[in-house]
Amino acid sequence: MSKSSLIHSPNPKIDTSNGIEFGLYSLGDHLPNPHTKKRISAKERIQEIIEIAKLAEDAGFDIFQLGESHQEYFVSQSHLLILTAIAKATENIRLSSAVTTIGVLDPVRVYEDAATLDLISNGRMELIAGRASRFGSFELLGYNSNDYKELFEEKFELLLKLNEGERVTWEGEFRAPLNDALILPRPLKNHLPIWRGLGNTMTSAIRAGELGVPVFQATLAGAVMTYANRINNFRSAAKDARHDIDNIPVGTGGWVFIRESTKEAYRQVYPYINEGFKLTNGESFPKRALAQGQSIKSVVTIGEPSLIIEKILYQHEAFKQQRFSAQIDFAGMEFDEVKKTLYLLADKVMATVKKYTKS
């Protein structure tokens, strides 16, 4: 952890007077279609991601987020480069990582790239920094996975420090010190919105609260109240640290697959999730675990529009979040299928949820 004290940059402001924000996010996976066993080229997959962001802007989504992963079956290793292409192809939709794996990266270089992207996009850039969910990136990029937690905490706090001003003096364990270093370029408004990505670790949520930074909670499967407990502990830690919890946004998000029939949605989506898990996680995804997602008390957002509305509103009641983001492209899904979910989410779900979540 840095030996310097932290002065926190302003948190991003999210206006919920018209309801919670809706976003789309992609992890940039590059997988074969489970039905045809064919995989499109890396070039085609990147172009798909750019096109999804353009369609999201046209459909009225508030933000598009892209993650990175340094391993086989992914194509978004240089996610900020892809987001730069999206910045040039769009005008209004905000942009974010989801997540930037800061523990295996140099925070100075990340900040330079993100600030540059912010200038290119006319101030639309956010960063969500998170831990690497898979350990292959540590060996690839020259780090020891035994330092997993310590690397992330030190580098995340340095990233926050870089966001405070042009001149930075800092000392840590894993990186050479900075002595009155000049950090350029600066973002359009001098600060970037920087969030912390959360997985399943309670200690990470509590640390985010202590730092007073906004969080993005990924929701894969399981009970809504499990995630609500983590978010509540985050807010309690922030309050104990004397942060203004009313001005620290929370975002959540996970798989979304929508069809006119819930039964048909589950029938169609399972092969994608199961085969994708086999290749990227080395194990099957239990069919029963996915089927349990039909309960309103589950975070799984798969089904017909009315069920999705009910689920998101139930989650909002539990989480009090300001943003909901949907992962709609995964596991080699055909682009036409991705677009179906995008348009159903935009046309059948978004306006209703916004109506009932106005602040």
Each residue of 248-261: pLDDT tens digit?
999 999 999 999 99
Q: What is the pLDDT of residue 1?
A: 41
* pTM attached to this predicted model: 0.95
Contact 126, 193 (CB under 8 A): yes
Integer Cα distance of 169 and 181 in angstroms: 6
Which residues does the chain have with pLDDT short of 70?
1-9, 133-135
Q: How many helices (H) does the chain have, and how many strands (E)?
A: 12, 12
Predicted local distance difference test score (pLDDT) of residue 139: 80
Q: How far apart are CA 294 and CA 285, in angstroms?
A: 16
Give me the domain span that covers residue 224.
Answer: 21-356
Residues 40, 32: Cα–Cα separation, whole Å: 7
Q: What pLDDT was estimated at residue 292?
A: 87
Whether residue 259 lies inside any domain: the answer is yes
Residue 9: what pLDDT?
58
The total domain count for the chain is 1
SS3 132: coil
CATH of the domain at 204: 3.20.20.30
14 assigned to some structural domain: no
- Looking at residue 209, what is its pLDDT? 97
Do the bridges between strand 194-198 and strand 125-130 make them parallel or antiparallel, or are there none, so unpaired? Answer: parallel
**Considering the domain boundaries, does residue 93 fall inside one?**
yes
Residue 317 maps to a domain:
yes
